[in-house]
Amino acid sequence: MTWCNLSFNFQVNLIMAIQVVSKATLGSCWSNIRLFSAYRLQFVQAESSAMPVLCSHCEEKRAILKRPKTGHSLCKECFFWAFEEEVHQTIISACLFNPGETVGIGASGGKDSTVLAHVLKVLNERYEYGLKLLLLSVDEGITGYRDDSLETVKRNQQQYELPLKIVSYEELYGWTMDAIVKQVGLKNNCTFCGVFRRQALDRGAMMLKVDKICTGHNADDVAETVLMNVLRGDIARLCRCTAISTSSEGEGMIPRCKPLKYAYEKEIVLYAYFKKLDYFSTECVYSPNAYRGHARAFLKDLEAVRPSAIMDVIHSGENLSVREDVRMPVQGTCSRCGYISSQALCKSCVLLEGLNRGLPRLGIGKHHRLHGKILAQESLTQEEQRKLKTADF
């Protein structure tokens, strides 16, 4: 992998995360770093004036980075140890796993899930968790993105010697994301993709008969989700989104957990980089309009003036309590597919019905009153169809 192959966000994260102590650390990519804007300039200037600093933990080796989370200057080995120990503490204190369990790791080939797979394998051996680890990937059918990232997952399978299962949207829903984008455009595509992925991961996990699914969501992801739910006024999701484990979400559902919940994205980038992990860092070709991007930009601004902003937002979300008289959705099951849903039909079935009927807006916005008609396979009126046909391209 070369510096130029890394996505811009990844480059910025890496540059922001590393406090240069050793120029040699970055080797051949050094001249390319000079090409990047303000952060890069600070980076280069800092490098030229920096004196060698000893690791504040072992006090023997030269420090190569300053931890974004604690500000400690550490050598590579002490950073690896500190990062892995924090994930171990997260797992132990939240009792995420039990000995003998089969755990499916949601693997996209990106930095988060690659670091998660690597660290879980290390900790499983170091602390004898007694887990059977598997990789579980979802192929959304995005040409030029997922096909390439799945090649990375296949290499990870060999490198970590873990079994791999890939489930595809095409086989589960009869639609690829490429085909969906052709029908719905680039405004709501991530709604389809996110809803289908969540269910696809569950379906894959059921095929593999895993006891738990763990995902690579990191502290930045959780803080962004808290902000998004506040901005949308989605109280039900706001209450759930900081949970490290979703075991209480519904009967028959496979519990999910987030062992990297307290790991900063910047540190995951550093860990992946210095461990030389094989991961994929190109952004999805259909990503530009995701609402999450605004929450992410806002959080980055907050973090620039208050480095603890990510943990502060998570802490606020964790300690939030909702008045007893606030009405919350009641979780039931979808009448068509049996998946968890607070409506007669789950979101996935409604979105799929919309695609199959050529009515892409069916699952966007609130059209719950039409669920009865859909379940009964009734035709919609011409006026109903007219409103649901238009897609924002």
Nearer to ligand SF4, 10 or 129 (CB): 10
Question: Which DSSP string corresponds to 43-109?
Answer: HHHHHHHPPP-B-TTTSSSBP-EE-TTT--EE-HHHHHHHHHHHHHHHHHHTT---TT-EEEEE--S
Please report how close the Cβ of residue 145 comes to Zn ion at its closest, in angstroms: 26
Contact 172, 136 (CB under 8 A): no
**Using the rule CB under 6 A, is 140 a contact of ligand SF4?**
yes
Listed residue (167, 176, 202, 362) closest to 285, CA to CA: 176
Nearer to ligand SF4, 109 or 259 (CB): 109
Report the distance separating Cα 234 and Cα 237, nearest Å: 6
Please report how close the Cβ of residue 192 comes to ligand SF4 at its closest, in angstroms: 8
Token pair of 4, please? 């130029």
* Of 70-78, 199-207, 282-290, 296-304: span binding ligand SF4 (CB under 6 A): 282-290
Residue with tokens 């009927």: 357
Q: Which does 193 bind (CB under 5 to 8 A by kind): Zn ion, ligand SF4, none?
A: ligand SF4
Please report how close the Cβ of residue 281 comes to ligand SF4 at its closest, in angstroms: 14
Q: Which does 47 bind (CB under 5 to 8 A by kind): ligand SF4, Zn ion, none?
A: none
**Using the rule CB under 6 A, is 124 a contact of ligand SF4?**
no
Please report how close the Cβ of residue 139 comes to ligand SF4 at its closest, in angstroms: 11
H or E element, residue 256: strand 256-257
Residues in the chain: 393
Please report how close the Cβ of residue 333 comes to Zn ion at its closest, in angstroms: 8
Mask: binding to ligand SF4, 286-305, rule CB under 6 A, as x and -?
xx--x---------------
Contact 354, 371 (CB under 8 A): no
Nearer to ligand SF4, 190 or 244 (CB): 190
Number of residues that bind ligand SF4 (CB under 6 A): 10
Nearer to ligand SF4, 23 or 232 (CB): 232
Contacts of 183 (CB under 8 A, 6+ apart): 355, 358, 360, 391
* Sign of the Cα pseudo-torsion (245, 279, 121, 20, in order): negative
Number of residues that bind Zn ion (CB under 5 A): 6
Q: Which does 336 bind (CB under 5 to 8 A by kind): Zn ion, ligand SF4, none?
A: Zn ion
Question: Which DSSP string corresponds to 183-195?
Answer: HH-SSSHHHHHHH
Please report how close the Cβ of residue 187 comes to ligand SF4 at its closest, in angstroms: 11
Please report how close the Cβ of residue 245 comes to Zn ion at its closest, in angstroms: 24
Contact 363, 191 (CB under 8 A): yes
Map the footprint of ligand SF4 across residues 177-216, applying CB under 6 A: 177, 189-190, 193-194
Nearer to ligand SF4, 194 or 332 (CB): 194
Nearer to ligand SF4, 17 or 190 (CB): 190
Q: Which does 17 bind (CB under 5 to 8 A by kind): ligand SF4, Zn ion, none?
A: none
Nearer to ligand SF4, 11 or 188 (CB): 188
Nearer to ligand SF4, 263 or 284 (CB): 284
Please report how close the Cβ of residue 289 comes to ligand SF4 at its closest, in angstroms: 9
Phi-psi region of 71 (alpha: psi -120 to 50; beta: other; left: phi over 0): left
Token pair of 328, please? 């919350």
DSSP one-letter code for 248: T
Where b means 16+ CB within 10 Å and e means fewer, 183-210 reads: ebbeebbbbbbebbbbbbbbbbbeebeb
Contacts of 242 (CB under 8 A, 6+ apart): 222, 226, 314, 317, 318
Nearer to Zn ion, 64 or 334 (CB): 334
Listed residue (171, 231, 234, 237) closest to 204, CA to CA: 171
Contact 311, 267 (CB under 8 A): no
Please report how close the Cβ of residue 11 comes to ligand SF4 at its closest, in angstroms: 19
Mask: binding to Zn ion, 331-350, rule CB under 5 A, as x and -?
---x-xx-x------x--x-
Site residues (vs Zn ion, CB under 5 A) = 334, 336-337, 339, 346, 349
Site residues (vs ligand SF4, CB under 6 A) = 140, 177, 189-190, 193-194, 284, 286-287, 290
